C-alpha cells in the first residue's frame, strides 16, 4: 500500500511539473490592429536640366501614415511582433526656372507612394518595456504625382525593397506603443524623368515611426 501511495505521489509531482513547464513555455499570442505616423527623410539632391533649369529633391521631412494588423507572440526570453501594414509616404521636389528667365517662380511637386509593408520585429521584454529589431519588407502598391505646373514627371520606383527597423515600445495591458527608426537596404528607385530629362535615383529612404496598437 505504501509503495502504491509513493508511486501515486511521484506521478502527481511529475504530471504537475510537466503541466507547469507547458504553461511556462507555451507562447502567448495576441492579434490586433495598429496605426500611426511615419516621418520620412531623404537626402537633398539637385539636378540640372537643359537651359540651366534645375530640379531639387528636397530634404524636408514628409509626414505619412500607416494602418494595419499586428500580432504579438511572447516566448520564453523573447518576443516576435509581425505586422502587415498599408503605408503612405512621399517626397517633395522643387523645379526651378531657367536662369535666363526673369521673375519666374519655382514650381513644386509631391511624389506620393503607397506600400504594403511587413516588418518582423524580434526582441526582449523587461516588464512592459520592449526593445526589438528586425527586417522590413516593402511592396509598392501605387504612386501618384501632385504638381503645381504641367511638368512631365515620371519616377521609376522599385516594386520591392528591403530595410530594417529598430526601436523601443511598451506593452500595457492590451495596448501597444512603438517608436522606431527604419533604414533601407535598397534604393528608392532607378531613375526619374522630367520633361524628357532622365536622372539616376540613388536615394535610400529612412523614416521615424510612431504607432499605437490594440490587441483583442
Tens of pLDDT, residues 75-104: 988 999 999 999 998 877 777 766 666 666
Residue 8 lies in a domain: no
In a domain, 7, yes or no: no
Residue 169 belongs to domain with CATH number: 2.40.160.20
Q: How does pLDDT run across 125-156, given as a tens digit for each residue?
A: 999 999 999 999 999 998 887 766 655 666 66
Question: What is the side-by-side order of every strand in the sheet holding 153-157?
Answer: 153-157, 189-194, 197-200
How many domains does the chain fold into?
Answer: 1
Identify whether 9 is part of a domain: no
The predicted model scores a pTM of: 0.73
Amino acid at each position: 500500500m505504501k509503495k502504491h501511495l509513493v508511486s501515486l505521489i511521484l506521478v502527481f509531482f511529475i504530471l504537475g511539473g510537466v503541466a507547469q513547464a507547458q504553461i511556462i513555455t507555451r507562447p502567448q499570442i495576441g492579434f490586433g490592429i495598429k496605426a500611426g505616423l511615419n516621418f520620412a527623410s531623404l537626402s537633398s539632391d539637385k539636378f540640372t536640366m537643359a537651359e540651366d533649369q534645375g530640379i531639387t529633391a528636397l530634404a524636408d521631412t514628409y509626414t505619412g501614415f500607416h494602418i494595419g494588423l499586428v500580432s504579438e507572440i511572447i516566448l520564453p526570453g523573447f518576443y516576435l511582433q509581425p505586422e502587415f501594414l498599408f503605408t503612405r509616404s512621399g517626397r517633395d521636389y522643387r523645379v526651378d526656372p531657367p536662369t535666363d528667365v526673369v521673375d519666374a517662380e519655382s514650381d513644386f511637386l509631391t511624389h506620393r507612394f503607397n506600400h504594403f509593408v511587413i516588418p518582423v520585429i524580434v526582441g526582449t521584454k523587461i516588464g512592459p518595456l520592449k526593445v526589438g529589431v528586425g527586417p522590413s519588407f516593402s511592396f509598392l502598391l501605387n504612386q501618384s504625382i501632385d504638381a503645381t505646373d504641367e511638368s512631365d514627371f515620371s519616377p521609376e520606383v522599385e516594386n520591392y525593397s528591403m530595410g530594417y527597423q529598430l526601436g523601443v515600445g511598451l506593452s500595457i495591458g492590451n495596448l501597444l506603443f512603438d517608436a522606431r527608426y527604419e533604414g533601407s537596404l535598397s534604393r528608392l528607385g532607378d531613375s526619374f524623368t522630367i520633361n524628357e530629362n532622365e536622372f539616376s535615383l540613388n536615394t535610400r529612404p529612412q523614416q521615424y515611426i510612431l504607432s499605437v496598437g490594440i490587441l483583442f
